[in-house]
Amino acid sequence: MNIFEYHLSEIKRVTLAKKDFLNLDQVDNLKSVSLEIPPEQFDFDLSCNIAMVLGKKNKINPKNLALKLRDIFLSKIDNFSEIEIAGPGFLNINFSKPALLNNINSILRNNEIYGSKESNETYNIEFVSANPTGPMHVGHCRGAVYGDVLANLLMFNGNKVTKEYYINDYGGQIRNFVESVYFRIIELKYKKEFPKKENLYPGLYIKDIAKKIIKENMNLDFKDFKENFELLKIKSLSASMELIKKDLKLLGISHDNFFSETEIVNKDLVNKAVNKLKEKKFVEEGFLQPPKGEPNDNWKRIKRLIFKSSLFGDDTDRALQKNDGSWTYFANDVAYHMNKVNRNYENLVNILGADHTGYIKRITAAVSALSENKIKLNCKVCQLVKLYKNGEPFKMSKRAGEFISAQDLLNEVEKDQIRFMMLNRSNDVELDFDFDKVKEKTKDNPVFYVQYAYARINSLLRTINLNLLEKINLDENSINFNEMEVRILRKIFEWPKIIESASRKFDLHKIPFYLYELSTLFHAYWSKGNEDKNYKFIENECLKRKEILSILNLVALVIQNGMKILGVSLPKKM
């Protein structure tokens, strides 16, 4: 149960029922009313701004209105035991003991789904989509983890999600890649030096691919590039995608669908997409204005097909054809997204790299045009990752060529550390990844601290021979949580609000932040027991109070749910 949603609806219901008594003529702005956890110094379970919202709208002193609302809520809402008016009119609220016990039991009953925000929509999330010209690099890792965790979060809420990878296996870069493999084959087979030719891929992984192809095709001489191009393309791309999938698997990531750009060409999907947009009068022949900052003398005025993306919020219209009349990369992308639209997903999500920010408006416009504004494309950009070791920027071997591979990163740190830390800052800001910090076994290492909290709980339960989710019989008349337990309970009650917030705007960093804060509270409680025997968990090899068992179960349950979404393991011993 989301106690915030439930009690906010109760507050609104009771207020509307008493609007005449309260002299409320204007009650159409109840959407602005919120229910939050107040700052810790106020020592209350909930805080509501309804008196200020309605007071301003109805020109009533908020504090006077708050006094009346306090009396109404205490008489009409059984779950509230105490209400204090704070500041300009906030209503700070405490739960009654029966309500507190009901909340706890509800969480324990729902265990694996506690916090989920019920939904049943379909999503296509396209992420990673690294060019199949070599292994993944560190920059791909952040988007890979983000996309996978977003899928987990949406599925936690009950949605159906397809995780998709778009293989850019067509065009000039693929020819350059295949040619690079070809020259490595010639180098290995005929001892001819690899040429110093522009646009070739120099990474040593190209040599590995060449060796694999030679081994699997011993009877071929490969002397003629044109003659062997199609075979080499198939073999080279297969080997490259094998490297990428291997890296993804090591990160705990698997895709449901791989969509090939070559399929767009072979099925003539660009023409079909353009014709569809023509029918809607969103594509026409015309001339583009020269790019800003480019002298008109250098601009060739060439008639071409243009998509009217400015009709859908883009800054300018976009060319679908190059100067030579061939399709632009954007045209292929429009065709790909038409295919996604035709697959009848309710929601499309693209996870993009830092260099794709300027591409968002045009492809979002295309999806709006293709779906008649029925489907929204949500694009999330993952900014760069900077690696540090010993306080200095860290340089790796760059065996892959001009970039640091995901494999290099995985050789330094474990999957759990990568997944947790890649989400430890908002996706739209650069991330500093410190190798020393993620290997520490201290509070400064968030992933360790969360895992350690869970391991501590399991260790304690093993000591007293109890299991998680052991039945707890609490008596509402005798329950008495100490101040540390109350702080933890309030944090536990906040979990559905974190999920709701993370789901609404795809702010995934809120989940590891929350788990770290919850774990910090638990460790603080544990430490307090070492300082003051009144806070010790165990006495004479038994739990001192039933309330402690409920706290242990609740903390473990939420950490389990959160780390499952993050795709991070939870060892029971550390």
Question: For residue 404, what pLDDT is reported?
Answer: 79
Tell me which amino acid residue 445 is: N
The per-residue pLDDT for 1 is 64
Q: Could you tell me where the DSSP H helices lie in 251-357?
A: 261-266, 269-279, 329-342
pTM given for the model: 0.93
CB 542 within 8 A of CB 480: no
- Residues β-bridged to residue 389: 392
109, 1 Cβ separation under 8 angstroms = no
The confidence score (pLDDT) of residue 399 equals: 47
Distance CA 362, CA 491 (A): 42
Q: What is the pLDDT of residue 396?
A: 57
Residue-wise pLDDT for 16-72, tens only, equals: 999 999 999 998 878 999 999 999 899 999 999 999 999 999 999 999 999 999 999
Instruction: Determine the 3-state secondary structure of 346 from DSSP.
Output: coil
The rounded distance, in Å, linking the Cα atoms of 386 and 83 is: 48
19 within 8 A of 59, measured Cβ to Cβ: no
Domain boundaries, the chain: 3-95, 123-168+253-382, 172-250, 446-566
Q: How many C-beta neighbours within 10 Å does residue 443 have?
A: 13
* CATH level 2 (architecture), domain 123-168+253-382: 3-Layer(aba) Sandwich (3.40)
In 312-369, the DSSP E strands lie at 318-319, 347-353
Q: Whole-angstrom Cα distance, residue 564 to residue 252? A: 12
Tokens of 99: 């309500």
Closest CA to 446 of 511, 529, 525: 511
Contacts of 378 by beta carbon, 8 Å cutoff, 6+ apart = 347, 348, 349, 350, 506
Q: Report the length, in residues, of the chain.
A: 574
Contact between 172 and 322 under an 8 Å Cβ cutoff? The reply is no
Q: Is the four-CA dihedral 21, 24, 30, 32 of positive or negative sign?
A: negative
Q: Which two tokens mark 181?
A: 């493999």
> Which CATH number fits the domain 446-566, given the four candidates 3.40.190.170, 1.10.3470.10, 3.30.460.20, 1.10.730.10?
1.10.730.10
* pLDDT for the residue 398: 45
pLDDT attached to residue 14: 96
Q: How far apart are CA 83 and CA 94, in angstroms?
A: 6
β partners of residue 405: 137
Q: Which residues contact 165 (CB under 8 A, 6 or more apart)?
A: 126, 127, 128, 129, 255, 257, 258, 259
Give Dmax over CA atoms of the chain in angstroms: 95
Q: How is residue 537 annotated by DSSP?
A: S
- Report in angstroms the alpha-carbon separations of 503 from 255, 340, 360, 561: 21, 22, 20, 15
Architecture of domain 3-95: 2-Layer Sandwich (3.30)
Q: What is d(CA 199, CA 345) in angstroms, rounded to the nearest whole number?
A: 38
Q: Give exposure, 324-341, as e/b (b: 16+ Cβ within 10 Å).
A: eeebbebbbbbbbbbbbb
Dihedral sign for Cα atoms in the order 167, 144, 200, 207: negative
In this prediction, residue 400 carries a pLDDT of: 46
CA–CA distance, 206 with 211 (Å, rounded to integer): 9
Question: With a cut of 50, which residues of the chain have pLDDT below it?
Answer: 398-400
3-state secondary structure of 381: strand
| Residue 405 confidence (pLDDT) | 84
Q: What spatial distance separates the first Cα and last Cα of the chain, rounded to whole Å?
A: 32
CA angle 69, 70, 71 (to 5 degrees): 90
Q: What pLDDT is stored for residue 295 in this prediction?
A: 62
Residue 297 confidence (pLDDT)? 63
Measured CA to CA in angstroms, residue 411 lies from 387, 418, 568 at distances of 14, 11, 18
Task: State the helix-helix crossing angle for 546-566 and 446-463, rounded to 10 degrees.
Answer: 140
